[in-house]
Structure 1
Amino acid sequence: MDQIKELQNLIESSHKIVFFTGAGISTESNIPDFRSTTGLYNQEYAYPPETILSHHFFISNTSEFYRFYRNKMIYTDALPNIAHQCIARLEDMGKCLGVITQNIDNLHQEAGSKHVIELHGTVYHNHCTTCNKEYSLEDILNKELVPLCNCGGIIKPDVILYEEALNEKDIDEALSMIMNADLLIVCGTSLSVYPAAGFLRYFKGEHLVLLNKTATPYDNQADLIIQDTLGHIFSQIHI
């Protein structure tokens, strides 16, 4: 059977779909991914991006962290693409339980998805590391390179950095969603970032679908694999 037709049939016959998304769903919204040949991890910086985006680097070299963060992690002009929009429509139709995303760009919410678990946080929420006062992204952008709270404390994005633990509530909710799904569709992730990638082990539903441009460690467990851009895939699906 044609792969797109098979995906169409799986979506039509399922009633508890869960989407697990990574950077590949946002590349067609002009947000670069991390691990492709043109991704952030294959560009030259004074420090490796994994180092810059770590907790210890944020503490010890805050200005360099924010220089990278402002240039490479914030894309206020980005708009949801057809993949985000199709996922939101499926939720509106009552066929989708929600989205578990590794992305921090808010594009699922902008497309209309209401039940979104942001495993790695979001650039749109920030807090003072001293008094815990909350700040918006606009607040951050309107401040100096290293944004300071009125109390004098450094403001930190609500983004999970390397060396930081995921939010326990988000983990519980994500695992519950995966365990209740009848169809799990993985979109645009190499499934190489843990612990998030390990969540797939909890899926006991009927069908696992992997939509990604390259192979993943879970390919041998999938019922359907389509290696293509998500924009091309979803433009052929009727929802």
Structure 2
Amino acid sequence: MTRSFHNFATAAQKLARKVCTIILIDVSPSMEAPDYPPSRLMAAIAAIIDLLGIKLERHPDDYVGIVKFSGSASIVQSPLPVGSQFEVLKHAALNGLTVGGYTNIAAGLKCAAEALSHHCPVPDRKGGAIKEFFLGLDRGTAPSDASELKCGIQGHVILLTDGDHNCPGFPRDWGKRLKDAGVVIDCIGIGGSPSQVNECLLRDIASVDESGRPRYRFIDDRDALLMEFHEMAKAGYLRKA
């Protein structure tokens, strides 16, 4: 019988001692808008560095990776432990997020799955099923028991965008695949107004909290964005054990 995301993710979180966070950042041209001074993209980079700093202080054994997406997606930095690789991760955030065209959220989520499956040490008993599940190499379901996550690392994706998916591909499908594998997804919309992002899509991609509400929020200024990343860095809701 296929397990629901809610049952599997809750069990996985109870085991989690560490978190592997993939920060998935929209780098479409609109991210250069100056309404989050000096720009939306620079505000996002400042938020990433703030997250890294908090994790360095509180959870140095956590992993962080960075993925960017525009018309396509790529891994800017594979997941690394923050405690020993803080400067490498900071350099990647400052230098790797260049702007491209379009907004391909599906490609971004797929690339985030690849970053988790290739670099985050969360094997099941057989060593490869989670990677296969993420990348669509089989049609299996989520691992049948959260004890298969022997390393106790909780997957986490933070998706930040200021636009709507406007490329081929199906973001909801990739969001479901990640959630069915136990990954928690936070979605953040930024920009001039909520109407500039597809809030319905982002709510559907996002995980839900303990009260059943989507982990999606629209943030309309730079300071609030920094505070949101500050709070996510604590990742208390991911660390139930």
Q: TM-score, normalised by structure 2?
A: 0.38
Which has the larger share of helix?
2
TM-score scaled by length of structure 1:
0.38
Q: Name the larger-Rg structure.
A: 1
